[in-house]
Structure 1
């Protein structure tokens, strides 16, 4: 047997065992029934259109296999949507940071035009698009307009989301 080849094989095997396993996570892109594009690490709903799945290396978004049973159950029963806008939204960044800090998977819907605002108003129980207070949160079917951390914390806990990661 070739000694040089054997030595190389042993070193390669040792290095492969010592290196951290590269992980790949799925990221989904889809279009909902209102034509809005969503990106998430959670699989899209059954009625989603134009579904794309990409494997991303080196990132570790929350995936259902890494969630606690309580978090997984809360996500299945009451998925979270965050409604934001790029303009005049002082509370959008803190709202997003709150959800991320608490480890809650969510879909962000950025309202960029009147049609999107009208669709959001309907989902959030408002008669007119201008009545939607952003940021707004939809926990399952329960809408919350505006960001008040104590209210969001209470509603998310009531929906079964763990208080901490």
Structure 2
């Protein structure tokens, strides 16, 4: 009887997943807590726990986002190649941050990342690629664990 009770408690505890939040407070400090931030916090990221159905992202996408965030570096005068890069990321359903280079420090950040100012450039986790080449972008995203395409449902069928 004790063994059965212990087993039930262990199984119940294993099913519980803690939710944690990471954010930057108004003083610029990174905070990790089990309660969501109050007041002015930036860069709030929910870690662990059960995936939220409301955002429509798969578990694989959420996991890849946590481990390998995607940043696309663009500029105002980059039209065709930047559009192609955005379209590829959007077509795969890959959440990304677009950083449009405007200030000297933005250009310096990109120069440190890829060696020079080359638009578009992409950063996936700690890996990067300068320019736009669909095969290279897809390779970086595949290695990071991002799904190859979004799972869209039409009339109850997965497409």
Query: Do they fold alike, i.e. is TM over 0.5?
Result: yes
Match of 2:148 in 1: 163
> Structure 1 residues 52 and 82, CA, compared in 2 at 3 Å: closer, same or farther?
same
Please identify runs of 4+ aligned residues in structure 1 that moved more than 6 A: none
2:64 counterpart (70, 74, 77)? 74
Shift of 1:47: 3.8
Alpha-carbon distance between aligned partners in 2 of 1:90 and 1:112, rounded to the nearest angstrom: 19
> How much does 1:52 deviate?
6.2
Alignment partner, residue 23 of structure 2: 46
The TM-score normalised by the length of structure 1 is 0.58
Deviation per residue, 1:32-88 (Å, 9 max, x gap)? xxxxxxxxxxxx9634756469xxxxxxxxx88421111111111100000000124
- TM-score, normalized by length of structure 2? 0.60
Mind listing any 5+ residue stretches in structure 2 that lack a counterpart? 1-20, 29-39, 44-52, 151-159
RMSD: 2.7
The alpha carbon displacement at 1:98 in A equals 1.0
Q: SS at the partner of 1:133?
A: coil
